[in-house]
Chain A
Amino acid sequence: MTPPVLSVRNLEVEFHTRRSVLHAINGISFDIAKGEVLGVVGESGAGKSVTGLAVIGLLDPPGRIAGGEIHLSGMRIDHLPPEEIRRIRGKRIGMIFQDPLTSLNPLYRIGDQIVETIRTHTNLTETAARKRAIDLLAEVGIPAPEKRIDAYPHEFSGGMRQRVVIALAICAEPELIIADEPTTALDVSVQAQIISLIKRLGRDHGTAVMLVTHDMGVIAETSDRVAVMYSGRIAEIGPVQDVVQNPLHPYAKGLMGAIPTLAGEDKRLVQIPGSMPRLSAIPQGCPFNPRCGFVFDRCRVERPEPVVRGRQAVACHLYDAAPNDVAKETAA
C-alpha cells in the first residue's frame, strides 16, 4: 500500500511571545492521497495558513512545530535541517499564496523567475528551462506565452498573475500543492477559472492539493474531502458530500447553513453568533462551547477528541460512544 502524499499526525504549532506561549495548532491529523483535493475551511484565525506553512517548513520564529509529525509520501519532513526542507519546497511541494499582485518580484521578468525556479530544482540548461517555462505558461493558460515570458509582473492582470504564480508552483512537478486562499484577492469573474485550473492541474498530474478557502461553494465544487477547522483543531473532516449534506459538528452545521448555493434548496445565510476565541483565551474543554447551541456540562471541562462516524470524523462530545475508546482513531 502506498502511503498518502501528505500525512499529518497530531501536529502542534506554538508561537512564543514575550508574555506567553500561544497554541495556534492543537494536535491535528489528516491525510491527502495522490490526486485528491482536500478543502480546508474555517473562520479567520482558525489556523489554516499556519498549517500550510508548517507543512512546507516556512513557519518563522516565533512560530515553531511543537509536536506531531508530517510525512510526505512516507518520508518524515517536519524535523529536516533547513537546507533539506529548502530542497523539498518548490520541488516536491508547491505553494500558492493569496495575493498574486505581491507574490512576484516586481523587478524581474516573469520568465526569469520561472527559469530561476526550474534551474534551482533541476539541472536543465538555461535554454531548456526557458522552453519549459513557455510550456508551463501555456499550460496554465497564458496566451502567447513565448512573448509574455519576457513581460514584467505589473504587465499582467491579477488573474493572469495568479496563473503565473501557479506555473511557478508546479514548475518542478510537485507531489503536493498547497493553495492558501488562491482566489480571495481576485475578481469574482476570474475566481472560478483559477479554481478549475488548480483542479485540472491536480487531476492531470496526480498532484495532491490542499486548498484553503473561505468559500464553501468552492469546496463543494472542487474538493474530494473537506476539513473544517476551529481554533487550531479539526472540528470535522470527511468526504465533501457527507460533510456538506450531513454535517455532524455543531460548528460545521452552522457553516453549511451559511452556504447559499447548496443544492439550491436552502437560501438562508445563517450567521453563527459570537466569534472565535483568541488564542490567548481559548476556553477549557471544547473551544466552541461558548457559541454552541448543544453545549452541555462535559463540553466545558473535557476536550473532545475526534471520533469516527461513518466516513466522517468529528470532534464533539455529542458523538462520543463512550468516553476515550475511539479517541485515538483518526480520519481515514
Chain B
Amino acid sequence: MLAFTLRRAIQAIGVLIAVGIISFSMFRFAGDPVNQIVSIDTSAAEREAVRKSLGLDDPVVVQFARYFGNAAQFKFGVSYQFRQPVSNLLADRMPATLELAICATIFAMVFGILMGVYSALRRESALAKLFQAVSLIGISLPTFLIGILLIYLFSVTLGWLPSFGRGDVVRLGWWTTGLLTLSGLKALILPSITLGLFQLTLIMRLVRAEMLEVLRTDYIRFARARGLTTRAIHFGHALKNTLVPVITVAGLQFGSVIAFAIITETVFQWPGMGLLFVQAVQNVDIPIMAAYLLMVSLIFVTINLVVDLLYTIVDPRLRSTISRPA
C-alpha cells in the first residue's frame, strides 16, 4: 500500500514538473518580460538592471530551477496588472472557485446518481425516457448558453436569484465563504447548476449504463436465487457495485469542473480563479496565467491520487492485490 502510494506520488510530481516547464516557457514566448514591467521611456541601462534583478540573464536551466523552486513554495512572482504577489491574488480567489466547484459536483453527483438509478430500474417509464432526452440536451448545449438561459429565467424574468457575483461572504481566516449567508447561498445556485449540468448528465448516463450492466451479472442473479428482496438487491448489491466506477469518474471529473469553471465564472462574474485567469489572458499577465496553470494541474494531480487511494478502500480486491505485490 505504501509502495503504491509512493509510486503514484512520484508520477504526480513528474506530471507537475512537465506542466512547470510549459508554464515557465510561457514567459519566454510572450515577449520580453522586462517590457511588461518598465515604461517606454526607461533607459537601456535601467532595463539591464531590472533584467539582472529579475535573474533573467542567468542560464535557462537555472531560471527554470529557480522558477520551479519558488512555485513549489507557492511563490509565483508579481502580477503585471495588479502589482501584487500572484499567490495572494490566487489565495483570494481560490475559495470562490472551490466552493463553486464543490457545490456543482455535489449537485451533479446527487441528481446524477438518483436519476441514473431511476432510469436503470424503470427503464421503460416515461420519466426515464425524459431523463435520457434531457441529458442529451445537457450534453450538447454549451455551458455559457445554459448559464445565460438560467439568468434570463430566474434572474431577469422571475427575479428570484442574483445574476452575478458571490453575494455576501464571511471571512474565516484567509478563506472567504458564501455558504454562511443567505445571499451567498442564493448566489451559488445558478452558477452551480450551470457548472454541474454537464457532469450531471455524464454521471446519470454512466450510472444507468453501469447499473444495467451490474443487474445482468451472475451475482445479482444468485442474489435473486437467494430470495433477497428487490430492494436489497437493487440498493444493497447493485448500487454499491455501480458506484465504484462512478466515484472514480466523478472524482476525476472534479479537475475538469475546476477548469470549466472559467466559463461559468465569466458568465456569472464569479470572483474566482477562472475569472482572474480570463482577465490575465486579456492583459497578457503571464505570471497569473502560469500560476493558474500550475495550480489547476496540482489540483488535477492531487485528485487523481486521492481517487486512486479511495478506489482501493472501496474495492477489497484491489486492496489485497496492492498490499501483496505480485
Contacts and interface: CB of A to CB of B under 8 A. Distances in A.
Q: Do A and B originate from a single complex?
A: yes
Given A58-B221, A155-B320, A120 B237 contact: no
Chain B facing A: main interface SS: helix
Contact of B223 (A105, A106, A169): A105
A99 B217 CA distance: 11
B229 interface: yes
Contacts of B217: 102
A107 interface: yes
Interface in A110-154: 116-117, 120-121, 152, 154
A107 B244 contact: yes
Nearest to A114: B226
Interface residues of B, number: 24
A103 B316 contact: no
B225 A89 contact: yes
Query: For the side of the interface on A, what is the size category?
Result: 20 to 34
B122 interface: no
Contacts of A209: none
B239 to A, nearest CB: 11
A34 interface: no
Interface string A75-87: 0000000000011
B235 interface: no
A104 interface: yes
A86 B229 CA distance: 7
Contacts of A165: 222
A97 B222 contact: yes
B46 interface: no
B228 interface: yes
A107 B228 contact: no
A56 interface: yes
A199 to B, nearest CB: 20
A163 interface: no
Nearest to B220: A105
Contacts of A168: 222, 226
B218 interface: yes
Given A105-B223, A116-B228, A117-B227, A99 B218 contact: yes
Given A95-B222, A102-B219, A152-B316, A107 B227 contact: no
Interface of B: 217-219, 221-230, 232, 236-237, 240-241, 244, 314-317, 320
Given A104-B222, A105-B223, A117-B226, 18 more contacts: A58-B221, A89-B225, A89-B227, A95-B226, A97-B221, A97-B225, A102-B218, A103-B218, A103-B219, A105-B237, A106-B219, A106-B315, A107-B316, A120-B227, A120-B229, A152-B316, A155-B320, A169-B226
